[in-house]
Structure 1
Amino acid sequence: MAKWKIDPTHSEVQFKVKHLMITTVTGYFKEFDVEAETEGDDFSSVSKIEFSADINSISTNNDQRDTHLKSADFFDAEQFGTLTFTGNKYEQDGDDYKLHGDLTLRGVTRPLTLDVDFGGIVVDPYGQTKAGFTVKGKISRKDFNLTWNAVTEAGQVVVSDDIRILCEIQLVKQG
């Protein structure tokens, strides 16, 4: 069995949401962790994938918006400080992969399937074995009790329901 941990300097976790239904705002978590266990030295058989993100590390490059996102209107970081995803099945789907698991956000747990592009495994110049992944998915924020909304005078919704997830993940095999 091999254990893998996140390489935080070569990884990022983003989310994208429509604002006023005309532009997309990108946010990300600055503090997150991923741990994985594989039966062998590759990802053909994965026995564990666990992800967590610190809600207080959320950033959209706007302090006022970040404060609002951390408030009870959205993530309620004071009461629900961590977002988690526990993978329970990783399977090949043609040239790509699917990661099935449970996402817990704001105290609500729902099943989630993510699309995974496996970039491969290489040994870096320092002798570390690394694996790379691009992970994509979409959730309905309302499924997780993220229901705050406002409507403009013209009837436009301020924040879309769909949240797109995009992660670039690099894992390091542990010695």
Structure 2
Amino acid sequence: MSSAPVTGTIPGYTAGTWKADPAHSGIAFAVRHLMVSKVRGRFTGSDVTIVTSEDPLGSSVVATIDVASIGTGNERRDHHLRSADYFDVEKYPTMSYRSTGIRRTGDGWVIDGELTFRGVTRKVPLAVEAYGFGPVTSGGRRAGFSASAQIDRRDYGIHIPMDGVGGVVGETVSISLDVEAVLQR
């Protein structure tokens, strides 16, 4: 791995501390339901801080997600997801992600990190695409990123009632993030 900065591969790369703009960012998930379709949802409450260093490989990210902010478009299902059967928001109101390193993979990037959810911490790598960095007409600078990962819900103690009877909910949960971040002054 080269120790030279690789900023030329990210348009307008800028070192600094960035906060996700909630109006232009989203954390979403998808999971198989009854093995015939997918249920999709998102979390509307989060706090994401990205620190970009002069060398992108030295950058970091920390995120906290308000688990009760889940929305799938079905209030009955959302209420059930907040229950002890799934997210247990009374006991575990947030989940968090903390990067432990960043690496290049071919023409992309991976953020290695740890996801803590329901009191359990597991390593979860995020495949990342940096869209670019640039000025905005209102002043300041913004940066855009997307990331994706897959987790196994069982790793976090989510064992669905009737799990062995027809697969009510899939084991693999796909996670996707779209972040538009604002450079902090």
User: Is TM > 0.5 for Structure 1 vs Structure 2?
Assistant: yes
TM-score, normalised via structure 1 length: 0.92
Change (3 A) 1:34 1:15: same
Paired AA for residue 173 in structure 1: L
1:52-110 C-alpha deviation (Å, 9 max, x unpaired):
11011011111110011000000100000001000111122122100100000000000
Listed as ranges, the gaps of 5+ residues in structure 2 are 1-14
Counterpart CA distance in 2 for 1:150 and 1:123 is 52
Q: How does 1:23-172 map to 2 (within 5 A)?
A: 23-40=37-54, 44-150=56-162, 155-172=165-182
Counterpart CA distance in 2 for 1:118 and 1:21 is 33
User: Are the counterparts in 2 of residues 18 and 25 from structure 1 also a CA contact under 8 Å?
Assistant: yes
Counterpart CA distance in 1 for 2:59 and 2:122 is 20
Partner SS state of residue 170, structure 1: strand
TM-score, normalised via structure 2 length: 0.88
Counterpart CA distance in 1 for 2:42 and 2:27 is 5
Counterpart CA distance in 1 for 2:26 and 2:138 is 22
Partner SS state of residue 56, structure 2: coil
The reply on whether 1:20 has 2:30 as its aligned counterpart is no
User: Are the counterparts in 1 of residues 57 and 101 from structure 2 also a CA contact under 8 Å?
Assistant: no
Q: How many percent identity over aligned positions?
A: 35
Counterpart CA distance in 1 for 2:161 and 2:170 is 9
Question: How big is the shift at 1:117?
Answer: 1.1
Paired AA for residue 38 in structure 2: T
Change (3 A) 1:91 1:21: same
Listed as ranges, the gaps of 5+ residues in structure 1 are none
1:22-64 C-alpha deviation (Å, 9 max, x unpaired):
1011010010111121223xx7244431011101101111111
- Runs of at least 4 residues off by over 3 Å: none
Question: How big is the shift at 1:151?
Answer: 5.5
Partner SS state of residue 167, structure 2: coil
Counterpart CA distance in 2 for 1:49 and 1:109 is 16
Number of aligned residue pairs: give it: 171
User: Are the counterparts in 2 of residues 150 and 159 from structure 1 also a CA contact under 8 Å?
Assistant: no
